[in-house]
Amino acid sequence: MAAGAVRDGEAAPDPSKFAVLRCARRVWAISAIHGEARRLVAVHAALAERLEPGDRMVYLGNYVGFGHEIIATLDAMLAYRRLLLARPRAFACDVVYLRGAQEEMWHKLLQLQLALEPAQVLAWMAKRGVDATIQAYGGDPTTGLGAARGGVLGLARWTSGLREAMRARPGHYELLHALKRAAFTDDGALLFVHAGLDPDRPLDAQGDALWWGSGGFAQIVAPYAGFKVVVRGFDAARCGHALEPPAATIDAGCGFGGPLTAACFLPTGELADLIEA
């Protein structure tokens, strides 16, 4: 386990929740996509010409939500993964997918019948982009809201229909249920998160701060837990790129009129390359 992943006296992060990027020469990070499949395909095409041996890749969450090409986005991610793993000396652990706020909401939505106030929860999610994902899998948000107000059995049938629709898309269920909370290089140099973290908490105690963000991200002025740079892929405030260590944001507003970004980082924490589409 990397020295930068834990502080003295702390347990190592759970490997089922956190990904370790081993022997990375460089790491490419892809910002929040929000169902913008055409931008993702363009980024993938540019990446194919720039990937080098020893490169690793991390998708930083929010693949679904807001956009109108959600199914195509996930299909493109799965197809590109197959291409990456077909390269010589490539391993499955070379490509990591993080959980974003959209994926967290989707996971909770599929268990909505267990919520104390399901109608309120669904309305809250709808304001934050989940309607697009519901519609992508053939669901109707209005019908879901009615089911949420009507009782547990009807709501369970509605969420079950969404779950089965997701399972009918090859690879979608497996992808969205194998997401990591964060990823870091085994040398303790680079840490990748979705939306932020609380600099006063260890990595394995971050909880929801990883996908909902924290005002503390902007307060990182010194290396967090020994990492030279913490890279996040989504900024709810949409303030644009901030690419300098020790806290880098690569979100340029994809899904809200801005481009999708793929940023390449060296073990030093420096930016080596940048792609926008």
The answer to whether residues 91 and 209 belong to one domain is: yes
SS (H, E, C) the chain: CCHHHCCCCCCCCCCCCEEEECCCCEEEEECCCCCCHHHHHHHHHHHHCCCCCCEEEEECCCCCCCCCCHHHHHHHHHHHHHHHHCCCCCCHHHEEEECCHHHHHHHHHCCHHHCCCHHHHHHHHHCCCHHHHHHHCCCCHHHHHHHHHHCHHHHHHHHHHHHHHHHCCCCHHHHHCCCECEEEECCCCEEEECCCCCCCCCHHHCCCHHHHCCHHHHHCCCCHHHCCEEEECCCCCCCCCECCCCEEECCCCECCCECCEEEEECCCCCEEEEEEC
The answer to whether residues 136 and 266 belong to one domain is: no
pLDDT score, position 12: 61
Residue 110: which domain range? 104-172
The answer to whether residues 219 and 268 belong to one domain is: yes
Model confidence at 125: pLDDT above 90: yes
Question: What's the whole-model pTM score?
Answer: 0.94
The answer to whether residues 126 and 89 belong to one domain is: no
Mean pLDDT of the chain: 92
Instruction: Give the domain-ending residue among 140, 172, 204.
Output: 172
The answer to whether residues 187 and 59 belong to one domain is: yes
40-88 per-position pLDDT tens digit: 999 999 999 999 999 999 999 999 999 999 999 999 999 999 999 998 8
Instruction: Give the domain-ending residue among 156, 172, 188.
Output: 172
Residue 246: asked if its preceding bond is cis (omega within 30°), the reply is: yes
pLDDT score, position 7: 44
Model confidence at 197: pLDDT above 70: yes
The answer to whether residues 64 and 188 belong to one domain is: yes
Model confidence at 4: pLDDT above 90: no
Greater confidence (75 vs 218) lies with 75
The answer to whether residues 230 and 188 belong to one domain is: yes
The answer to whether residues 75 and 18 belong to one domain is: yes
The answer to whether residues 61 and 121 belong to one domain is: no
Instruction: Give the mean pLDDT of 88-110.
Output: 95
Instruction: Give the mean pLDDT of 98-124.
Output: 96
The answer to whether residues 9 and 69 belong to one domain is: yes
Model confidence at 2: pLDDT above 50: no
The answer to whether residues 17 and 89 belong to one domain is: yes
* Pairing mode of beta strands 26-30, 55-59: parallel
Q: Would you place residue 239 in the very low, low, confident or very high pLDDT band (cuts 50, 70, 90)?
A: confident
Model confidence at 15: pLDDT above 80: no
Overall domain count for the chain? 2
> Do 258 and 275 touch, CB atoms closer than 8 A?
no
CATH number of the domain where residue 261 is located: 3.60.21.10
